[in-house]
Amino acid sequence: MTSAADALADATLSRDVACEAGALILEVRASFGEIDPDDHDRLQLLRTTADREAHLLIAARLGQARPDDALLSEEGDDDFTRLSADRVWIVDPLDGTWEFGQGRPDFAVHVALWLRTSEPGGSLAAATVDLPDQGDTWSVLDDVPVPAPLPIDRPVRVVVSRSRQPIGLDGFMDRLAAELGESAPLGVVAVRVGSVGAKAAELFGGRAEVYTHDGGFSEWDLAAPLAVALKRGIACWSPGGTGFEFNRRDVVQPGVVMAVPAVAAAARVAFNR
């Protein structure tokens, strides 16, 4: 059983490693200088270099600090011995690689720790989402904020992928607007953002109320944002109602819906109709 002191040390390690990797990613981008948008080879080299260097840094830091833990990284070779491990770090060294190469700020570093427990599927513990180009770091170490009321000076915002709109999004937003009624006088709009971590951070920062994604991503995309969201009291569920399990052989996740407390009940109704 993990003690409070051990949990704090793991969470601090998660935050420190994520921030260090985020700083490295910015250094890599600066070292490449200005790149012609039509120079696709150079842009791809930038993306792969940043991804690789961030992975190597994270693997080295975690390996030094927690040599007995397993690692599941998007950029690493998957060692299936992790399936029998009790502690597995699930990391995405650069989530939102495409946005990073475009010079956009909505990319992130994800570092989360999965623990085997008596509960089916284990649990997520230490977790950090670092958005280095936005100067924001979100962690399970953060104080849990007082739930904010629904905004009345702007529409309720639903965050979705920039590249692939969830199926049925328009209908969901119409149903959500109907459920909220007069409590959302300016209606509901969609906001398109890159990285999963950057999308979740829109809710963490109070700039949006719902995030929905209907599949097509992996454990390293979701683990850290999900853990931070749950710690902050944000309601999270899978679109198919299957729940979330990590450290599986098949790393594909079913999708996610996140909703801040002020809109969670209405979002569940709107989603399930």
Query: Could you give the CA distance from residue 44 to residue 252 in angstroms, rounded to a whole number?
Result: 24
Question: 252 pLDDT exceeds 90?
Answer: no
Would you state the pLDDT for residue 160?
A: 94
Would you state the pLDDT for residue 217?
A: 87
pLDDT averaged over every residue in the chain? 93
Mean pLDDT, range 5-34, rounded to an integer: 95
Question: 240 pLDDT exceeds 90?
Answer: no
Would you state the pLDDT for residue 1?
A: 57
Do 59 and 73 meet the contact criterion of CB atoms below 8 Å apart? yes
| Digit-coded pLDDT (tens) for 132-191 | 999 999 999 999 988 899 999 999 999 999 878 888 999 999 999 999 999 999 999 999
Mean pLDDT, range 243-249, rounded to an integer: 89
Query: Could you give the CA distance from residue 141 to residue 11 in angstroms, rounded to a whole number?
Result: 7
- Specify the pairing of strand 235-237 against strand 256-259: antiparallel
Would you state the pLDDT for residue 107?
A: 96
pTM for this model (two decimals): 0.94
Give the DSSP H/E element, type plus range, for residue 235. strand 235-237
Question: Please, what are the domains in the chain?
Answer: 4-139 (3.30.540.10), 156-272 (3.40.190.80)
Give the DSSP H/E element, type plus range, for residue 213. strand 210-213
Question: 131 pLDDT exceeds 90?
Answer: yes
Mean pLDDT, range 102-107, rounded to an integer: 93
- Beta-carbon contacts of 233 under 8 Å, excluding residues fewer than 6 positions away, are 144, 145, 147, 261
| Digit-coded pLDDT (tens) for 179-224 | 999 999 999 999 999 899 999 999 999 999 999 998 778 999 999 9
Question: 120 pLDDT exceeds 80?
Answer: no
Residue 242's pLDDT band (cuts 50, 70, 90): confident
Measured in degrees and rounded to the nearest 5, phi and psi for residue 98 equal -65, -45
- A 10 A CB-CB count for 76 gives 15
